[in-house]
Amino acid sequence: MKDTFLIGELAKLFNISTDTLRHYDKIDLLKPNCDVVNKYRLYSVRNFFKLSRILFFKNLDISLQDIKKYMNNKNTNNLMTLLKNKEEKIDVKINKLVNLKNKINTKLELLGNIKHELNIVKIKRLPQRIGVVLDIKDSKNEYELKESVKKNEKYLKLSSWLIEGQVYTSLSRENMTSGNFNKFKYFIEILSTENIIELDLITIPENEFACVVFLGPYKDIENHYTVLIEWIEENGYEILGDSIEKNIVDYDFSDSENEYVSEIQIPIRKLL
């Protein structure tokens, strides 16, 4: 036993648990010899070096399955393939983290600029948006809303609701012009349309929108619609289509109605 390590000795040397070594034994990744008398696991010097390689790969976050596959067929080409495959996976993770950081920065920038945007009418040229409308007859009917969401569940994982925490509602041009500001519908923007049959989707084309950001309870939205529509008429524009209401901070982001932030976007065209 002088030229072998007991399981506790080896675990201590590599700062790992004996359970880890037992698991490696169980999956045939690192097999010790067994003392037939006292059933001790005995690890050779060769085991010592092999474990160091296993832990090297493990610290690179390479799966035990891939490590075992490589250990059963070791050569330089397979080593390069193993490392390159891991490098590609790391690049994917890096891109994901960069995207996450960009989303956080976008949200922080949006929240940070709110005080400079409040109650100021601006004309913005907004890009095309593709999505699906949850056009429910009664916006307070939760069963109807649930059924509409279930019907369109295939879009949710690709939507601004999930990816950006962004909820959109919409008011038809007819309701806006008739002063009916309570018959809204939900608009689910789809941020990726790959592998989606677009026959189910609607397109809000790129266009100029009259926009205003307001702070406070959603029940006050009628006042802001009235101001925005008056501005559109007074400045020689006409309403082209349905509005989009961008709910930047709502009841799921703040418990206080006084902190709710929304932006009304109405597509417009200059009258000749």
Range of the domain at 29: 4-74
Total-model pTM:
0.66
200 inside domain: yes
CA 97 to chain centre: 11
Tokens of 136: 């429910």
Q: Are residues 133 and 248 in the same domain?
A: yes
pLDDT at 1: 58
DSSP secondary structure code for residue 255 in this structure: S
218 inside domain: yes
| Low-confidence residues in the chain, pLDDT < 50 | none
Q: Are residues 25 and 131 in the same domain?
A: no
pLDDT at 116: 85
Total number of domains constituting the chain: 2
What tens digit of pLDDT does each residue of 11-42 get? 999 999 999 999 999 999 999 988 766 778 89
265 inside domain: yes
Q: Hey, what's the torsion of the CAs at 165, 169, 170, 175, to 10 degrees? A: -160
CA distance 135 to 259: 27
CB 227 within 8 A of CB 184: no
pLDDT at 226: 94
